[in-house]
Amino acid sequence: MCYIYNNNIPIQELSPEKMKKETLEIPFYGEINDFLASVSLHNRTQNPLFYCLRLKPNDDTIQYYKPLFKKNFYFISLITNSENTKIIYDTTKEEQLDSFLVFQSPNQIYSFHRDNNAQGYLIYFKKELFDFYKPHFDKEFPFFDILKTNFFKIDSNKFKEFAPHFEYVFEAYDKSPNQKHQLSIYRFLALLFQLKEFTNAYDQWETSFNTPQQLLYKNFMRLLNKFYIEKRTVEDYALLLHVTANHLSKTIKNVSGQNALSLINERILAEAKSLIHYTDNDMAQIAYQLNFSDPANFGKFFKKHTLLSPLEYKKSSQS
């Protein structure tokens, strides 16, 4: 599949300068309905703050691969039967999944490739949906992290435990007579509190194993997932983390066994491989989408780290 552009000019008719301008900008969806249109969904929500979607096996109504994009709203998904679904977050690539739970805040760079058999629940919303609720939304539900996508790998038993709570929300959503979904919204708020209990227990367990070095490493990975398109040096991230580049490099090496720059390059390569494998974009489009100055530099970078040219990698992945 190809990227969606803001004009109908075939990409091969554009000059390199024009091509870079057209392809470098990551699509941004300010409204839920704009995003639904971008993934080929015919349905639209009458409530611009809220949309619920059941994901069904062999469902051709929604795109199977979505390249890099940003959106101006929140997202929750609970998915099972997701064996061939591929998710990349914080430079981690998850494959051969059973089930998973995802929380995502606005303005995060994201892409996905879903399995044909995957099923579950997708909820898109804006926090203005809960204006009637007085506490600060982000403080009340910290699993919506502004720096990263919160991903929880779960098993089918945990999916079966969560699913009835999601179904309770969707039942009210489907039966809403006026598309305002008041009952579903109240049920959704209750669901968020139930999910908060799960994520709090998980975070407490995870934090008990964290050292200051591990916390710095995790914060680095969160920032890397958010800024890897724009920021390519260790110094860039050290500045964001208020430490020296030398201290950051040593810490990353001690915790992960890898150099910080290697992790930066791996994140770029992971997205490059996904774009090469799952889209019909040519190498020039991919190069500019990933913020390389020109296709030649992208080719040199890719071959240096994989020993294959982008075209050689595409042929090998297809075979």
CB-based contact 70:107 (threshold 8 Å): yes
What integer is the mean pLDDT of 147-154? 80
For β-strands 87-89 and 92-94, DSSP reports them as antiparallel
Nearest CA among 203, 189, 90 for reference residue 142? 203
Express as a percent the part of the chain with pLDDT over 70.
Answer: 83
Distance, CA of 158 to CA of 120 (rounded, Å): 13
Judged against a pLDDT cut of 60, whether residue 8 lies above it is answered with: no
Residue range 251-267: mean pLDDT, rounded? 92
For residue 294, pLDDT beyond 60: yes
- Min mean pLDDT across 8-12, 185-189, 282-286 is at 8-12
Helix (H) or strand (E) holding 146: none
What residue spans define the domains of the chain? Answer: 31-207, 212-318
Residue 230 pLDDT exceeds 60: yes
Give me the chain's average pLDDT, please.
82
In the predicted structure, residue 1 carries a pLDDT above the cut 70: no
pLDDT digits (tens, 9 = 90+) for 92-140: 566 667 788 989 988 877 777 777 788 999 999 999 999 888 778 878 8
Distance (Å, whole) CA 47 – CA 32? 9
d(CA 154, CA 165): 16
Residue 14 has pLDDT above 60, yes or no: no
> Which one has a higher pLDDT value, 25 or 2?
25
| 3-class secondary-structure state, position 267 | helix
Residue 106 vs residue 18, higher pLDDT: 106
- Give the type of residue at 277: H
Report d(CA 68, CA 290) in Å as an integer.
Answer: 9
Homologous superfamily assigned to 31-207: Regulatory protein AraC (2.60.120.280)
CA-closest candidate to residue 109, choices 82, 76, 149, 153: 149
Asked if 63 and 1 touch (Cβ cutoff 8 Å), the reply is yes
Paired residues of 78 in beta bridges: 101, 121
Residue 135: name the closest of 127, 125, 143 by CA.
Answer: 127
Cβ-based burial of 246 (10 A; exposed 0-12, middle 13-18, buried ≥19):
exposed
Q: How confident is the model at residue 23 (pLDDT cuts 50, 70, 90)?
A: very low
Question: In this structure, are residues 214 and 206 in contact, taking their beta carbons and an 8 Å threshold?
Answer: no
pLDDT at 90 over 50: no
Which amino acid, 41? L
**Cβ count within 10 A of residue 142:** 14
Q: How confident is residue 87, by pLDDT bands cut at 50, 70 and 90?
A: low
Q: Is the dihedral of CA 173, 175, 180, 186 positive or negative?
A: negative
pLDDT-derived band at 207 (thresholds 50, 70, 90) equals low
For range 36-56, the mean pLDDT: 90
Protein fold of 212-318: Arc Repressor Mutant, subunit A (1.10.10)
CA dist., res. 213 & res. 248, Å (int): 9
Of the spans 105-109, 279-283, 305-309, which averages the highest pLDDT? 305-309
- Three-class secondary structure of residue 70 per DSSP: strand
